[in-house]
A and B are shown apart, each in its own frame.
Chain A
């Protein structure tokens, strides 16, 4: 595994608002990283910095390049889908493929055509005539046919219905992903994503509050479902989060031994959504 992205003291402010507060992180090749955070947390700013779309302070190295000064070269090895609405309405499907084939040295048009042949999209249609879901399919077809090392997806399934969302991620995994590639994805629909991620990064108020592999998350974090009479005992062990469900108490523990917790109730692996809520509230307490 090699380090694909290296950020040190990465910062960005808009006027008086701090969007990124000097964060450090590394992203290794072959990872599928979920970048999760509430609105305005700095996710999109971080992605824009990686893509050379914004100025920043601190050090940032993406595939051995400076994303600001070497942006044009970087785009040969990096693809991104900003959100589903950015393909221009006047563009014909066939022309979109022709264009990318003309300007992108690592694009294989036959791969895009093969992918599209399994959808309802016709080459003569214009983007404006396609449904939102079909536009996302077209964009994905274009991006998947690019032999890139890094794919950045910023809310790629925003506004799509559940069928398209499922299809989108399954296509991405089955058709595209392999050890040579790295994917960074932000989304609000964490539940749909958690099974495909290898790494999880939470960002809040411009800071990284969690940065773990999915494996270490299931080792580190455990959810305890305790009956009310055990609640005080559980609380004494210092859970990072607590809430009540149907009269039972849910506690989330970080780095606590499972033997001790098992005596107090049922243990589960926390979902990414629960972990997210806990981590976001932890910062505020």
Chain B
């Protein structure tokens, strides 16, 4: 077990942006919170908000939200939703980049010969990289997201715009939703992660092309030969994240009721019981296993 923890640490030494990206996002958000507070106190009070509310005066915001608790609840909901989407977007982009490089970079700079001179199996190496994507990076994202939320709550109070209507219990419930959600998302995306790893293990050049072109080709062949579109629609549907259980059909209906908790861990029961999740996981495991075999085979080139 000890060697495996060092494999994971090595990944974090090499790919520091895996944890630096969410930290950077939190710093950017903090700066924008500070800017908002400063602007508010400097007398910039007129804010235009798209939608049925039109523009309104920040100074009266606190009074407005106090008078309209439903709107305050909605604003809280949007705030947490937007933050989650931002962090999740950064997570997915960094993971795609990480995976493309994961089994390719060390072959390109030939350092694979050094790594393979250690008593470590290719299986352990590949699994250590998978662990970064499935567990370590979502965990780092979750921690920074929670910090960004707390900073936001503090900033809203300091700015005097409004106080969050959510109770401490609601917020803790939200965190439970998010941590479970991130890990379910890891499972949900396993077929994509596995596919990119396989392409990364396979490519002698341009892992991006090996990732993108074969599925495109498969989809177009289906379109032309069978005049059907099952492949693209299945992949496209699956690509829509489950993390905002709020956006995925079905889950939406459970959570949209304002006044009830917007984010509920119960929403995931539907995801966990779906065949789509587990078929995806099975396909993902096949891809990861293939990546291990290809890694071993490709290592002979160096």
- Please tell me if B67 contacts chain A, counting CB pairs below 8 Å: no
How many residues of A are in contact with the other chain, CB < 8 A? 32
Closest to B299 in A: A53
| Contact (Cβ within 8 A) B7 A103 | yes
- Please tell me if A257 contacts chain B, counting CB pairs below 8 Å: no
CA distance A219 to B84 in the complex (A): 79
| Contact (Cβ within 8 A) A85 B10 | no
How many residues of B are in contact with the other chain, CB < 8 A? 25
Pick the interface stretch among A90-98, A225-233, A243-251: A90-98
One of B2, B109, B116, B121 near A89 (C-beta < 8 A): B109
- Please tell me if B119 contacts chain A, counting CB pairs below 8 Å: yes
| Contact (Cβ within 8 A) B116 A99 | no
Residues 197-242 of A contacting B (Cβ, < 8 Å): none
CA distance A164 to B255 in the complex (A): 68
Measured CB to CB, the closest approach of chain A to B23, in angstroms, equals 19
Contacts of B120 on A, CB cut-off 8 Å? 72, 75, 103
Chain A 98-121 against B: per-residue CB contact (8 Å), 1 yes, 0 no?
A: 111011110000000000000000
- Please tell me if A130 contacts chain B, counting CB pairs below 8 Å: no
- Please tell me if B270 contacts chain A, counting CB pairs below 8 Å: no
CA distance A87 to B110 in the complex (A): 8
CA distance A88 to B117 in the complex (A): 13
Contact A76-B109, Cβ < 8 Å, known A90-B13, A99-B9, A103-B7? no
30 A–B contacts from the bound complex (CB under 8 Å) = A51-B117, A71-B121, A72-B119, A72-B120, A74-B119, A75-B117, A75-B118, A75-B119, A79-B117, A80-B113, A80-B117, A82-B113, A86-B110, A86-B113, A86-B114, A88-B106, A88-B109, A88-B114, A89-B109, A90-B14, A99-B9, A100-B118, A102-B6, A102-B9, A103-B7, A103-B118, A103-B119, A103-B120, A104-B118, A139-B114
Q: Top 4 nearest A-B pairs by Cβ distance? A: A102-B6, A88-B111, A75-B119, A82-B113
Q: Which of A's residues lie within 8 Å of B, judged by CB? A: 48, 51, 53-55, 71-76, 79-82, 85-92, 95, 98-100, 102-105, 139
